[in-house]
Amino acid sequence: MNTVVQKFTADGITVVGGIPSMTSSPEEIADFAARADVLTVNLGTLDAERRRVILRAVEVVNAAGKPWILDPVHCDYSPSRLAFAQELIALGPTIVRGNAAEMALIGSTGPGLRIQTGEVDRIGSGGEGVRVANGHRWMAEVTGTGCLTGGVIAAFMAVEPDALVAAASALAVTGVAAELAAPLSRGPGSFGVAFLDALSAIGERELLTHARIHYDQD
Ligand SMILES: Nc1ncnc2c1ncn2[C@@H]1O[C@H](COP(=O)(O)OP(=O)(O)OP(=O)(O)O)[C@@H](O)[C@H]1O
Ligand SMILES: Cc1ncsc1CCO
Ligand SMILES: [Mg+2]
């Protein structure tokens, strides 16, 4: 996990019922990865030690056959980071999630499920996929909503083996929470707080009335 939005992302995972750990120490990563139900690899504040720790964590979860998600944060700003993201994609992430600029450079995600978030979230590539049209523009004005969304997708992957179902559900839940939070907020600052409140309180009724999930087929 990057060092910028650890608290916000951890809170997002916690309020949907997960137990987050932002561990990145070489001494501990193998034990934490072995215990986890799912791994999130976020490249936001990459350094030499994090690269080594990430590769070890991926090795552990791959050997155990557990799912993992890659967030190639800001790979569009650094050829070295983009190359590392591609190296990780070759190791078979279950999901790769990024914004439009990042995913344009990532290109193919191999067998891994591709997710491009934005005003409309696009899950999958080619003719078949799912679009989630929920969300609010203030999500783009709060740093780390993408990282948090990746964390919530990971939490859902821990209990739903179908990555597409887990991702579409998580994106609908975060998007609807944002829509419920925005009218209670004065701007991006109070929105960040109201968003966590709404994410913790959201239930079946709100989802059934607000979710905008579209399934596209060739
Ligand atoms: N204009 C928008 N309208 C509605 N929802 C949006 C909008 N922009 C982003 N979102 C939502 O915000 C979340 C983050 O998506 P975004 O693509 O902005 O991630 P990101 O750029 O990786 O963010 P960060 O790097 O700050 O974590 C997603 O859940 C997405 O659906
Ligand atoms: C701003 C920033 N820098 C590294 S990670 C991060 C959080 C949003 O991706
Ligand atoms: Mg991001």
Total number of domains in the chain: 1
Q: How does pLDDT run across 182-207, given as a tens digit for each residue? A: 999 999 999 999 999 999 999 999 99
What percentage of the chain reaches a pLDDT higher than 70? Answer: 99
pLDDT at 37 over 70: yes
Which residue segment(s) compose the domain that 36 sits in? 6-216
- The pLDDT of residue 125: 81
Give the C-alpha separation, 131 to 117, whole Å. 10
Looking up residue 207, the CATH number of its domain turns out to be: 3.40.1190.20
Does the structure show a pLDDT above 90 at 64?
A: yes
Is 162 a domain residue?
Answer: yes
Distance 90 CA to ligand 2 centre (A): 24
Which ligand 2 atom is nearest residue 44's CA?
5
State residue 93's pLDDT score.
98
Please tell me the distance between residue 209's alpha carbon and the centre of ligand 2 in angstroms: 33
Establish if 75 belongs to a structural domain.
yes
Q: Is residue 26 part of a domain?
A: yes
Identify the helix (H) or strand (E) that includes residue 36. none
Tell me which residue of 78, 75, 106 sits closest to 93, measured CA to CA: 106
Radius of gyration (Cα) for the chain, nearest Å?
16
Ligand 1 atom closest to Cα of 178?
A: 5
Instruction: Judge whether 197 lies within some domain.
Output: yes
Q: How many residues appear in the chain? A: 218
Per DSSP, helices labelled H in the chain are 6-15, 29-35, 48-64, 79-89, 100-106, 145-157, 163-181, 188-201, 204-210
CB of 146 shorter than 6 A to ligand 1:
yes
What CA–CA distance (Å, rounded) separates 206 from 4?
31
Residue 188 lies in a domain: yes
pLDDT value of position 217? 80
Whether residue 1 lies inside any domain: the answer is no
In a domain, 46, yes or no: yes
Residue 218, pLDDT above cutoff 70: no
Note the ligand closest to the C-alpha atom of 120: 1
Atom of ligand 2 nearest to the CA of 2: 5
Global confidence as pTM: 0.97
Within a domain: 89: yes
Strand, coil or helix: 43: coil
Q: For atom 18 of ligand 1, which residue has the closest CA?
A: 140
Burial 121-135 (b: 16+ CB within 10 A, else e): bbbbeeeebbbbebb
Cβ < 6 A, ligand 2 pocket:
2, 4-5, 44-45, 73, 143-144, 146-147
pLDDT digits (tens, 9 = 90+) for 114-157: 999 999 999 998 767 999 999 999 999 999 999 999 999 999 99
